[in-house]
Amino acid sequence: MASNYVVVDTFAGAGGLAEGFFRNGFDILSHIEMNHHAAKTLQTRTLYHALNQMGRQDIYYQYYNQKIRREEFIEEAGSLGISDSSVLNCELSDKNDNLIITRVSHQLAEAGRTNVDVMIGGPPCQAYSLIGRGRDPNRMRNDPRNTLYFHYLRFINEFKPEIFVFENVPGLISARKGEIYSDFLRKINNLGYYTRAEPCILNAQDFGVLQNRRRIIVIGWRRENGFPEPEFESFRTENTVRDLLDDLPRLIPGEGSEGPQEYREPTANTYLKESGIRDHEQSVRHHIARKHNERDREIYRIAIGKWNDERRRIRYNELPERLKTHKNEASFLDRFKVVDGDGVSHAVVAHLSKDGHYFIHPDIRQARSITVREAARIQSFPDNYLFEGPRTAQYVQIGNAVPPLMAEVIAEKIKGMLDNR
């Protein structure tokens, strides 16, 4: 289903947004990502798609199932003429931009192309998020990440894509009292692009993702193209988080494996099949539970019971005195949060890498925080998606990502716009 439309992926992360474009047949010319572990994840996924296109996914699954080492995997792909050179592991910065632009230009020439069709990406959201501003006494006003969108604009100006997709948290609209968002719109307009005046805030839940995750999506196009404004229809599923997680091995803290494990259920349910989360493979990776002390597990059981029985979050000052570890009972009372097994999850965030209390598994028998694979499923990543690096890095990659199911619909809409020029 190749479209031959060329994409440059900036601030690529682990590739959630790019995954949607891969699935719609776009050619990803470059992924630009500064984090070493995320860049390796992108390399792995890029090779997966290339091997899949050649009908040689067996090589990928040898690596997935730990039959061969990463070096052997890359070598095997290389023997078929497949390279991971599209991934540029470097930071978008004043120091690096010229070098990156030169490398992308060379890649464009090697592909026999003179233009970029689509540019995608969004700078790290911590400086714009309401949570991030709440934790910073200066409200993130002096955070250097506030101006990372300048680099996105520089690449727009350099490669002049037909369409761009810019993604971020809704907090971008109010960051620095709205001046960042207004400046972005003003500058993109000066570069000759049209975008809708009102912010377009989409919820991943409206794309079949079992997560309440709101994001601002700015889609713009060169003014001369005259595209109609894209509209997105909601298609929420009636499935729940239990449908999403129930076939995975049940774990207590410390159990599980980073390596392959057999599913608890031999066949996938309808949601897992239709969403593409689970395929024909009989093993799953990244499903190992954190270790928790018994005090935390007791708190988890109370929190799970309270949520399942009363649909109410436990507050810290409601805990028995013997389970409290500090005296502050006036602020941050929602320190423990259970994922809603009978509905959709709250938004997965990168902070999950440091604190599992906010993502407690809904099964009281397991009484633990969610695993990397469970977090990935909540984000709609397929089980065959490998995240490179240590567990903390995997959580960060997943928490920062665009859900692939959401990205797939956005990419489909972009493809339709380009097809109908």
Q: Answer yes or no: 125 catalytic.
A: yes
- Per-residue pLDDT, 333: 78
- Per-residue pLDDT, 390: 97
Closest Cα partner for 123 from 166, 94, 181?
166
Q: How far is CA 260 from CA 135, 230, 367, in A?
A: 38, 41, 23
Contact 378, 210 (CB under 8 A): yes
Fold category of 6-235+402-419 in CATH: Rossmann fold (3.40.50)
- Per-residue pLDDT, 126: 55
Contact 344, 212 (CB under 8 A): yes
Fold category of 241-399 in CATH: DNA Methylase; Chain A, domain 2 (3.90.120)
User: Domain segments of the chain: what residues?
Assistant: 6-235+402-419, 241-399
- Following DSSP, what letter does each residue of 201-267 receive, concatenated? EEEGGGGT-SEE-EEEEEEEEEGGG-PPPP-------S--HHHHHTTSPP--TT-EESS-EE-SSSS
- Per-residue pLDDT, 178: 85
- Per-residue pLDDT, 84: 81
Q: What percent of the chain has pLDDT over 70?
A: 94
Dihedral sign computed on CA atoms, order 279, 385, 21, 130: positive
Which member of 77, 104, 116, 125 is catalytic?
125
Contact 23, 408 (CB under 8 A): yes
Instruction: State which residues of the chain have pLDDT below 70.
Output: 1-3, 125-146, 329-330
pTM, full prediction: 0.93
